[in-house]
Amino acid sequence: MGFDAEFVRGLILRLPVVLFALTIHEFMHGFAAYRCGDDTAYRAGRLTLNPLAHLDVLGTICLIFGPIGWAKAVPVNPYNYGHPRRDDIIVSGAGIAANFTLGVVCALVLRFFGTQLAGIAEVGETLFSLVWVGSLVNFALAIFNLLPIPPLDGSHILENLLPAGAAIRFAEFRRHGVFVLLLFVLANRFIGEALGFSLLGYPIFRLMEIFSGMDLV
């Protein structure tokens, strides 16, 4: 990996986008939990849009330089929910919904104002790239967190949609989730390099294509 001018420029573009995407993701988890009756995140000082409250240094570095990343998980106590299974789905889905919405907004800006953005003297290319990266990062976080693999949000959603018996058996799978997730990421990378088709990349770029009107896939 060469630390040339182009790499540094890309890093400067990605950093604020990644920090905001991770921050809004965790904030929405905490806000949804608060609305569902659990003030654990609020009492922990995590019901904030200050990135420093949510920042996980290693997770942020991994997302900037690699294919995955994470922030510090917002603490929640499902026993405080009024309807535990329903509310856990809401809380788990809130971060995904926030990133998906931001991805759509950025893509629509490209669709309707991309030419105007790119045409702004001196800063047009930078603004266009910033919005493009914003769409990419937020769609990537939304799709990745939808995977039903512990500890990702999608696993909480699936577990609470399953019948009670199946949910208990699925919960036992959680202790192996990190290893399964790592294998999936490695397999996705291998498939992408071998076949030129990424299991994660395709839906991410397809969403960008649908909402931005750009030919990406």
Give how many domains the chain has, as a whole number: 1
pLDDT class for 67, splitting at 50, 70, 90?
low
Cis peptide before 151 (omega within 30 of 0): yes
Segment 50-68 shows an average pLDDT of 79
In the chain, % of residues over pLDDT 90: 63
- The residues assigned a catalytic role are 26
pLDDT of 3 over the 70 cut: no
**Residue pLDDT, tens place only, 147-195:** 999 999 999 999 999 999 999 999 998 889 989 988 988 888 888 777 7
8 Å CB contact between 153 and 92: yes
Written as six digits, the tokens of 78 are 């499902």
Assess if residue 124 is contained within a domain.
Answer: yes
Segment 128-137 shows an average pLDDT of 94
The contacts of residue 127 (CB under 8 Å, 6+ apart) are 117, 118, 120
User: Whole-angstrom Cα distance, residue 25 to residue 91?
Assistant: 11
pTM for this model (two decimals): 0.91
Assess if residue 15 is contained within a domain.
Answer: yes
Output the CA–CA distances (angstroms, integers) from residue 203 to 35, 139, 146, 164, in the order listed: 31, 9, 12, 31
pLDDT of 142 over the 80 cut: yes
| Residue 81 structural domain | 5-212
Assess if residue 217 is contained within a domain.
Answer: no
Segment 71-84 shows an average pLDDT of 94
> Considering only CA atoms, which of 135, 112, 19, 32 is closest in space to residue 78?
32
